[in-house]
Copies of this chain bind each other. A is one copy, B any other.
């Protein structure tokens, strides 16, 4: 049985190095340096290799300690090491932070199956969910299933450049790993001034490294889960919390992930209402109605673990919704489309340099899913957004489209 003595340090890898990935590498690198008892200082950052100014991007990053292409002007900790080999970057890491465009996830996970530690833990910083006609999956689920590990999520009101400039904000980490093996010592709650050595053990993957006698096998050369301190809520907070980046850790992975996707639908409606000049009252009303449809969507389709307060009280919920409906590009383009009398796709073409608005595709996916369930009428704002995008409804009609039955109030509870 593992002892409660000194533990191996956790090794951290960032999978992805775009604007947000590089920002998270900065945050995490600062914390591995500040917590040497708990983490190896060096942070590996997998970089999709490309040529920049006639040089390899990884070499530029490692020379200049700056991602000159995706996060220019921000100095990265010198112990954040850019690595073009994903297999090499993840090797021996106990904590894998996924921060890359969602279309690359599945291919990348295939590459590292069997390479990662079997008891590694993941955090997905990828906003949104994978919606198919009649199936919805969180990206954390996709990663977890493909790699056979547990994966949580990080999301919040976090415009990457503002975080990189150390402008204060908050974020939410959702993390709810399976319970500790019942044969393990009773886990004591870690005290506020915990030392890593005193924290509870994570033995969930221990079986894979035991021999038939139940004792840890001596022939295994890979590390054992029991050699490490548990990766729990406290560990996650220490790894991500900075004076300028306040972290709250919750357990509702689905709520955090869904908020990040569904808010973009609401932002389109907020943009239209802004474009109509209806004022702050109306925009706040759209956000309120949208927030409740987000909650309802979560409860209907992820009911087991969803908590209303993830949406209404956390940074990943209400705060990210507020930010997205203030300065985000879904809101901005929708507003332009009303003011200029142009379609959303005309505005997308002009403003987004070939990219597409996430709110548009999410609205379509969510509507398709809702229709497959026959539940469009229970989500009148989401449905209205889809129909307006398709030209089947007018944005001026949003109030009527979302108006509830005249006498349906919480009076029904009385």
Contacts and interface: CB of A to CB of B under 8 A. Distances in A.
B159 A280 contact: yes
Copies of this chain per assembly: 2
A221 to B, nearest CB: 33
Nearest to A413: B251
A312 B392 CA distance: 32
Contact of A162 (B176, B281, B405): B281
Given A281-B157, A319-B285, A399-B244, A237 B168 contact: no
A353 interface: no
Interface string A126-162: 0000000000000000000000000000001111001
A284 B323 contact: yes
Nearest to A233: B411
A69 to B, nearest CB: 23
Contact of A406 (B156, B237, B322): B237
B284 A157 contact: yes
A243 B399 contact: yes
B243 A157 contact: no
A287 B406 CA distance: 31
Given A233-B414, A285-B169, A410-B249, A312 B313 contact: yes
Interface in A305-321: 308-309, 312-315, 318-320
B323 A281 contact: yes
Contacts of A233: 409-411, 414
A291 B309 CA distance: 12
Interface of A: 156-159, 162-163, 167-170, 176, 189-190, 192, 194, 232-234, 237-238, 241, 243-244, 246-251, 278-285, 287-289, 291-292, 308-309, 312-315, 318-320, 322-323, 326-327, 398-400, 403-414
11 contacts: A162-B278, A162-B280, A162-B281, A163-B281, A167-B279, A168-B399, A192-B408, A238-B407, A246-B285, A283-B323, A326-B326
Given A190-B407, A312-B312, 9 more contacts: A163-B281, A170-B281, A176-B414, A194-B407, A246-B403, A280-B322, A280-B323, A280-B327, A284-B322
